[in-house]
Chain A
Amino acid sequence: MSRLLLSVVFAGLVWCAEPIACQPSPELQVEFQEAAAISAAVADPFGALDKAAPFLAVRDRHPDSLFAHERYQDAIYENGIEGHLRLLTKQYDDLEVKHPGDPMYRYLSLRTLVGRSTLRAIQGLNELLASRPDFAPAHRTLAEIYGVAAFRDPDKEKSEREQFQAACPDGVFTRRPASIPGPSPLIDRAERMLAQDGDPDAIVAMTIQGLKEFEWRSQRIRAFDWYTMDYKRQDARELRTKYWQAWPIQVRAYRKGGMPDMANQLLAVMEQRAKRLLGEPGSAYEDAQAVLARLHAEGDGSEGKPALRSPRAGLDSPPLHLAGLPWSRHKATNSETFASPTHMTVSAPPQ
């Protein structure tokens, strides 16, 4: 308790001596609102960097503003997946190197680890506070971390919150974790379109987009350590079932659209995938087999059954011998051009 009081007093003294803004200036807030409007207009649901770009522009206009940096980081956190988060960490690692000893950049670098390597972030923030107890934003971030279920510690959260608010009574906390997209409605919608004899191409496209949206949602979960391994596994299982819901829709749409080859190719892939589910926990294998049985039954008998090829099928006709040496006298072509020197007789490919 005495440590807390001391640090509050010390922090208060420092902040009195050198007032540091606890929230963005009104001008910056206006810029944030404008950036948010531009970001919200980005239609691509996977355009994480496009959505963050307006905030990056604000940051670049205010390179010394902690809030501008934080808002840009938050934009990545609200929209990004693994690659974007990793890019963010690299950007702030680089900035920290360019600003050695500057607690703001040390803090910002550590902040990119929150929700990713949160324990490392906690350790780093505490080390930062040990050397700079007046650095209130670190208290705020620690309070945010301790408020999340995965790292919940009510006592620490309360302590960090009090220390931050002692310095910044009107300071604002960031909501963590950032929200994740809801389940995509597109696959169910495609299923309804199929039942209503909708456009097969549109149905297939809709299932693909729906699967992408489910994958994106999973990516938004998988990238963070806010979520437990069990939760991530459960999410992966649910995603798998979405695929097994979507593929039959695609097969049926291909059939309705007069594209039996496409239907058969997908069915062949599904057959292979179903086999690989053998041994998985639960009823995944049996469920997949049931789906395949239905699809085969719906077919015309031969359709849907992947044609078995002879292991020597490749030898039944002369192979293309596409490109022995693409840059040599055996220049790559799509015909039999690699023959040995002309005075030699070479037997036909084995039959």
Chain B
Amino acid sequence: MSPKNLQHYCKKTRSNGLAAWAALFVLSATIMSAQFVRRVPGAVPASSPLKPISSSVTDPGPRGGPPGAGGTFTLLDNTNSAANQSDHDFFAETLLRFQEVDSVSGTIESGSGLGPNFNLNSCAGCHAQPAIGGSSPATNPQLANNFPHLDGATNPADLSQVISATGPVREVRFIYNTNYSLDGGVKNLFTIAGRTDAPGCNLAQPNFDAALADYNAIFRIPIALFGDGLVELTSDEALEASFNATASQRAQLGIAGAFNYSGNDGTITRFGWKAQNKSLLMFAGEAYNVEQGVSNELFENERFLPGTNSTIAANCTFNGTPEDSTNIINPQASTIVGGVTKPNPNLNTPVGTASEMSSDVVNFAAFMRLLAPPTPVTSTASQLNGQSLFTQIGCSLCHTTTLTTDKGNGSGINGGANGPFPALQGFTYHPLSDFALHQMGSTLADGISQGQAGPDQFRTAPLWGLGQRLFLLHDGRTTNLITAILDHADFYNDCMQTAFQEIFEIEPIAVEYSLGSLPPEFCGSEANQVIENFTNTLSSSQQQDLLNYLRSL
């Protein structure tokens, strides 16, 4: 696309030339970095080709019954039973660590390092539905039992526009900074100020009200972690081969897609809402630091908001960093042997199991690695028909049904297989995701860029376990599957220029500027045609079958 002169005017900076130039710089940066469309609240596109959904078609709702998730694989080591039991003990220990609750210095709870900013005090608190390792539970732990004021914490900010008692666990990100440079970082809901284990700390929460009023806050909910180890064990080549195999079919439906790649080694990154994290260890390290405020061997710094003055930071720093690290001395009071929990004879010695001597983040990563995928219950005629329709209308072109983990090269010490968990090699699984990024248009766009993922790009959400998920889409905006499906579409057909006008409330002005070369123009969502297939080509009965299938996952 050739350079264009855009005549825009920044409403916010009408009387301030310097700020106007800053805004223009941001616009340029935004346009250069990615394509992002922000929609006007309440607007509905008159041009939408989607047919209405009959009121007879309903989301069956989250499936009851046993979780069908949360455990590990029956076989982790298929070479001998003792090794397999040992692996299961290891998983059980990592599960305990995943449930650890943190306080600031480990005085109130055994875990330490909480804060100075945080969203919750335990991994398992957020990753809880339908079992530990899942997504947001029905009762929001961010409000349960007076959590914002737990242990004397002050946290005076009104969070009612962000979270509710029966809504999803949420994190908040700000799209841009107060000077209109791009932000994108997590702004935690809570601080440790006022807590009994944070004497002297006086740290304010971010100004959520202002950010919300300024359309600057977006939300994310916890991702279910079941089966992620299999994803990690799948080679880039396997992901690319699976992706490339559907290229021509995708093209017919207007679906492109691309993987997010690591800026370090150039390989595919695959974890997180935007596939921004390379590995489960990286995912764990980032979450521990960002969500709970625990510095660790991957993310060694305490997180204060930019601009926090050194006095406040000093008053709110209670631990050496990193707060979580490899254990030279065994800190675990109990141990698990043969599936039985016992007092740990190695407590406070330099001897221990892999779990005991490893850092929390290594344990979290191992826990995720060994979490088995959810067990679907697809069995009824309706569900089975829905399964066929899922492929027929094109959902499976992105929500890829089948992938296989690496087989290894057979030179390892464990019975000829590489890796500590040989039973997981060559393992076929059904994530219902291609783990690639797709442009989803303005309905889902959140304005955040992560790695090569642009503001409206998201990793195809794996649908395994969807049947028991309570809150849907990246921000948990809905509990209703139909809404979630329809929000995949974006028929506004507004493209970059108008989008940017809306992002920063831009209006035409007499300032002309050249943006240089623009990235390829896009309009709408890559999923538009598939959603149109859902609404326009399927009968109500078929639509219901598809919903029933999805809730059987």
Which A positions have Cβ atoms within 8 angstroms of B?
Answer: 44-49, 81-84, 86-87, 208, 211-213, 215-216, 218-219, 222, 229, 233, 236, 239-240, 243, 262, 265-266, 268-269, 272-273, 276, 279-281, 306, 309-317, 319-334, 338-347, 349-351
Is B108 within 8 A of A87, CB to CB? no
Query: When chains A and B are docked, how far (Å) is the Cα of A309 from the Cα of B144?
Result: 11
Determine the distance from Cα of A82 to Cα of B348 in the docked complex, in whole angstroms. Answer: 24
The answer on a CB contact under 8 Å between A320 and B166 is yes
Using known A-B contacts A280-B333, A312-B62, A323-B219, determine if residue A349 contacts B105 with beta carbons closer than 8 Å: no
Chain B, residues 106-147, CB within 8 Å of chain A (1/0): the string is 111110000000000000000001100000011110000110
CB-nearest residue of chain B to A338: B477
Q: A236-B107, A350-B62 are in contact. Are A265 and B318 (CB under 8 A)?
A: no
Is B55 among interface residues, defined by CB-CB distance under 8 A? yes
**Contact A240 B139, beta carbon cutoff 8 Å:** no
In the complex, the answer to whether A340 meets B38 with C-beta atoms within 8 Å is: no
**Residue A339 contacts which of B50, B52, B200, B483 (CB distance < 8 angstroms)?**
B483
A-B CB contact pairs (8 Å), 29 listed = A46-B199, A46-B315, A48-B200, A82-B317, A82-B320, A83-B313, A83-B315, A212-B196, A243-B108, A265-B146, A276-B109, A276-B110, A279-B333, A279-B343, A281-B343, A323-B212, A324-B473, A325-B218, A326-B161, A327-B38, A328-B39, A330-B477, A334-B161, A338-B477, A338-B483, A340-B486, A341-B44, A341-B50, A343-B44
Residues of B near A312 (CB, < 8 A) are 62, 64, 138
Q: What are the residues of chain B within 8 A of A344 when measuring CB–CB?
A: 50, 52-53, 482, 486, 535
Shortest distance between the CB of B499 and any CB in chain A (Å): 11
Select from chain A the residue with minimum beta-carbon distance to B106.
Answer: A236
Q: A219-B105, A324-B475, A327-B217 are in contact. Are A49 and B315 (CB under 8 A)?
A: yes
Q: How many residues of B contact A (CB 8 A)?
A: 93
Whether a CB of chain A sits under 8 angstroms from the CB of B152 is yes
| B166, A44: Cβ atoms closer than 8 Å | no
Question: B161 contacts A322, CB within 8 Å?
Answer: yes
- For A82, A262, A313, A329, the residue with the greatest tally of chain B CB atoms inside 10 Å of its CB is A329
Shortest C-beta distance, A132 to chain B (Å), equals 30
Taking a contact as CB atoms closer than 8 A, the residue among A269, A332, A338, A351 that contacts B161 in the complex is A332
* Apart from A240-B107, A322-B164, A334-B161, 12 more pairs, CB < 8 Å: A46-B199, A82-B320, A215-B105, A313-B166, A317-B166, A326-B215, A329-B42, A331-B41, A340-B483, A340-B486, A345-B52, A347-B57
Contact, CB under 8 Å: B62 / A315: yes
For B341, give the chain A residue with the smallest CB separation: A279
Nearest 8 interchain pairs by C-beta: A350-B61, A327-B215, A83-B317, A46-B200, A314-B138, A324-B477, A279-B334, A331-B41
- B138's contact among A44, A311, A324, by CB below 8 Å, is which? A311
What residues on A are CB-neighbors of B61 within 8 Å? Answer: 315, 349-351
Among B45, B64, B137, B311, which residue has its beta carbon within 8 angstroms of that of A341? B45
Chain B residues engaging chain A, CB cutoff 8 angstroms: 38-45, 48, 50, 52-55, 57-62, 64, 101, 105-110, 129-130, 137-140, 145-146, 150, 152, 160-164, 166-167, 175, 196-200, 212, 214-219, 310-311, 313-320, 329, 333-334, 341, 343, 347-348, 442-443, 445-447, 470-471, 473, 475, 477-480, 482-483, 486-487, 535
Name the distance in Å between B90's Cβ and chain A's nearest Cβ. 17
Residues of B close to A351: CB separation below 8 A: 61
Closest to A212 in B: B199
**A322 to B162 alpha-carbon distance, docked (Å):** 6
Given the interface contacts A215-B196, A218-B105, A325-B218, does A320 sit within 8 Å of B480 by beta carbon? no
* Cβ–Cβ contact A342 & B219, under 8 A: no
Of B105, B219, B317, B473, the contact of A326 (CB 8 Å cutoff): B219
Contact of A332 among B45, B217, B314, B442 (CB under 8 A): B217
Beyond A208-B196, A280-B333, A345-B53, is A322–B167 a contact (Cβ under 8 Å)?
Answer: yes
Inter-chain contacts of B487 with A (CB < 8 A): 324, 340
Q: Which among B130, B311, B445 has the greatest number of chain A C-beta atoms within 10 A?
A: B311
CA distance A46 to B318 in the complex (A): 12
Q: What is the minimal beta-carbon distance from B204 to any residue of chain A, in angstroms?
A: 17
In chain B, what residue has the closest Cβ to A45? B199
For the A-B complex, the count of residue pairs with Cβ-Cβ distances under 8 Å equals: 244
B-chain residues with CB within 8 Å of residue A240 when the two chains form the complex: 107-108
Judge whether A313 and B138 touch: CB under 8 Å. Answer: yes
- With known contacts A338-B478, A344-B53, A216–B199 Cβ distance under 8 A: yes
Chain B residues with Cβ under 8 A from A272's Cβ? 101
Q: By the criterion CB–CB under 8 Å, are B480 and A346 in contact? A: yes
- Compute how far the CA of A276 lies from the CA of B214 in the bound complex, rounded to whole angstroms: 42
Distance A290 CA – B163 CA, assembled complex (angstroms): 36
Min distance, Cβ B441 to any Cβ of chain A, angstroms: 11
Q: Measured between alpha carbons, how far is A323 from B214 in the docked complex, in Å?
A: 14
Least Cβ–Cβ distance between A147 and chain B, in angstroms: 25
Q: Could you tell me the distance in whole angstroms from the C-beta of B480 to the nearest C-beta in chain A?
A: 6
B311 contacts A269, C-beta separation under 8 Å: no
Could you tell me the distance between the alpha carbons of A37 and B107 in the complex, rounded to whole angstroms?
Answer: 34
A216 and B200: CB pair below 8 A? yes
Q: In the assembled complex, how far is the CB of residue A237 from the closest CB belonging to chain B, in whole angstroms? A: 10
A323 partner, pick from B52, B55, B475, beta carbons under 8 A: B475
Closest A residue to B163 by beta carbon equals A322
Q: Is the CB of B145 within 8 A of A265?
A: yes
Contact of A213 among B55, B60, B199 (CB under 8 A): B199
Residue with the greatest number of chain A CB neighbours at <10 A, chosen from B175, B196, B313:
B196
Interchain CB contact under 8 A, B314 and A86: yes
CB distance from A191 to the nearest CB of B (A): 16
A49 to B316, CA, bound (A): 12
Known: A243-B108, A344-B53, A350-B62. A327 touches B218 (CB 8 A): yes
Chain A positions within 8 Å of B343 at CB level: 279, 281
Give chain B residues whose Cβ lies under 8 Å from the Cβ of A219.
105, 199, 318
Tell whether, in the assembled complex, residue B52 and residue A327 are in contact, meaning their CB atoms are under 8 Å apart: no
A320 touching B443, Cβ below 8 Å: no
Name, among B139, B162, B315, the residue most crowded by chain A CB atoms within 10 Å (CB to CB): B315
Alpha-carbon gap, A343 to B61, bound state (A): 22
Q: Which residue of A lies closest to B111 (CB)?
A: A276
Which chain A positions have C-beta within 8 A of B175? 327
A314 to B164, CA, bound (A): 10
A342 to B162, CA, bound (A): 24
- Whether A350 touches B60, Cβ cut-off 8 Å, given contacts A216-B200, A218-B107, A329-B39, is yes
Q: Are A44 and B218 neighbours in the complex by a CB distance under 8 Å?
A: no
